[in-house]
Structure 1
Amino acid sequence: MNYLDEHIVSLKAKLMDQTTANNGGLQSIPAQNQESEQNGSMSEQNKLFHIQNEHLALEPRTILDGEIGFYIPKSFSPMPMEQAAMKYPSEHRPQDIYTSAEGTINISFNPTDSFLQVDELSEFVEQMADVLRSVQPIRNWLGSEMFINHSGLSIGRIRFIAAGIDGNLYNELLLFIQKGRVVIGSFSCLEAEHEAWLPVAEYWGQSLRVLTPSPYSANEKGMIPR
């Protein structure tokens, strides 16, 4: 077993939990980004999505003691421990889970115990994709890719539709490296609604960045990139 294979085996259980969330009803809300980003900046105008007759505002959040920042809908909140235990019934559940008010859309993060160099991430992502295809009830494989987001962070993206309890689920995994450690981010929603929510998922991935810790919260002073 080679070096990367050992990491794949150790992460298999985490991936299973990260991609098996319960789902419920979700109203159709075709989201549309109202402003485009330029040069990776994230001005106030760029953090608003129009949802039918309402507006979905995004706001900054941080994880890992303020070392990773990102934008998600302001209406999303940390999932209560009791709900997380039911939705991810395993010790490998994600460390940070944010959910919509209805509990039907989830964004989560799971820092792992695997350490890699940045140039190893692409091969690692492809091996992870192979694992997912072998263990998940895939309905539609949407592919994997590497990209560099607006903050210059190298990210591996894996997307697929899998069978869920009440219907097919859209899953998008983002794998990136923070202080040498692999972190797995996940976005999930019902397949029927995923096209409406793709702009939010895209903004979330593009907003991921490594931060310089600040004594102020991200909501008060904003995110300070390194």
Structure 2
Amino acid sequence: MAERIDEKILDFINEVEKREAKKDICKGPVKIGERYYEFEEKDFFDEKLKIWIPNDFEEMSEEARKFKYPSENRPEIIKCNENGSIAITLNITDNLLDEAHVEEFKNLSKVIVKRMNPANVFFEDGVLEINNKNIGYFDYKSSAIDDFLYNFMFFLEFEGKALMGTFSCIHNECKEWRDVVFQIIRNIKENNKSKMS
């Protein structure tokens, strides 16, 4: 009996240590998989939106963009690692959106993604309230030419329109990245202050 209790206490301590090992992306290097990533807060859309991304992510090349996002309405911003296997995208859509309809927009987007490829496997969806903003999200597994991909899509109101973001990586790396993606989402900031000229 005492041994079983000791085992449970050890399991609990191990779990706490594992959780503490997951570092804060805003406070220094974070180990993801086999390497450390340094995150920094970057400005987008004329410094009106701030998002923490790995500091070595670069703008995806035009050639890679056309291959990875064959549709002409590909995302405006695509930041990726050196081989393009991990990417973060941001795009302001033409869809009007207000805070009250973020969940509805997220649900509709999920339906569209399902219809485009019924083989996608969906995991979780929800709406987070971050800095008085609603951010809708869902994640899913899709198949690529030679592997499976993990995709995390998020949506928020930005200047009256729907801003859509995605994170994608090879599916077998998603366990390492998922918590980090939630940290990225939780640290999104909108800079509403209009600049004085």
TM class, shorter-length: 0.7 to 0.9
Answering whether residue 79 of structure 2 is matched by residue 90 of structure 1, we say no
Number of paired residues? 175
Q: Is the 8 A contact 1:145 1:157 kept in 2?
A: yes
CA distance in structure 1 between the partners assigned to 2:89 and 2:100 by the alignment? 25
Which of the numbers 119, 126, 130 marks the counterpart of 1:145? 126
Structure 1 pair 184/35, CA: closer, same or farther in 2 (3 Å)?
Answer: closer
State, as a whole percentage, how many aligned pairs show the same letter. 23
Counterpart of 2:106 (choices 113, 119, 125) is 125
**Structure 1 pair 121–56 and aligned structure 2 pair: CA distance change class (3 A):** same
Query: Which amino acid is 2:148 matched to?
Result: N
Q: Compared with structure 1, are the counterparts of its residues 67 and 167 closer, same or farther at alpha carbon in structure 2 (3 Å cutoff)?
A: same
The answer (yes or no) to whether the contact 1:138–1:160 under 8 Å persists in 2 is: no
CA deviations 1:52-76 (Å, max 9, x no partner) are: 6743110111211111110011111
Confirm or deny: 8 A CA contact 1:66 1:213 kept in the other structure: no
Task: State the shift of 1:169 in Å.
Answer: 0.8
Q: Which has the larger radius of gyration?
A: 2
The one-character-per-residue Cα deviations of 1:169-210 (angstroms, maximum 9, x if unpaired) are 111000001111101000001111100111321121111110
The residue type paired with residue 34 of structure 1 is: K
1:71 to 52, 62, 74: 52
Comparing 195-204 with 181-190, which one deviates more in the overlay?
195-204
Q: 2:80 aligns with which of 78, 87, 99?
A: 99
Q: CA deviation at 1:165?
A: 1.1
The 8 Å contact of residues 153 and 209 in structure 1, kept in 2 or not, is answered as no
Structure 1: which 5+ runs fail to align? 1-31, 37-41, 216-226
**Secondary structure at the residue paired with 1:138?**
coil
**2:166 aligned with 1:186:** yes
2:139, 2:153 within 8 Å by CA — same for their partners in 1?
A: yes
Q: Tell me which residue corresponds to 1:33.
A: 22
- Structure number with greater CO (CA < 8 Å, separation at least 6) is 1
Which deviates more, 181-190 or 117-126?
Answer: 117-126
Going from structure 1 to structure 2, the CA distance change for 1:98 and 1:152 (only over 3 Å counts) comes to: same
Superposition RMSD on alpha carbons, in Å? 2.1
Q: In the alignment, which of 135, 143, 149 is matched to residue 169 of structure 1? A: 149
> Structure 2, unaligned stretches of length 5 or more?
1-20
Displacement of 1:90 after TM fit? 2.4
The Cα of 1:128 is off from its aligned counterpart by: 1.6
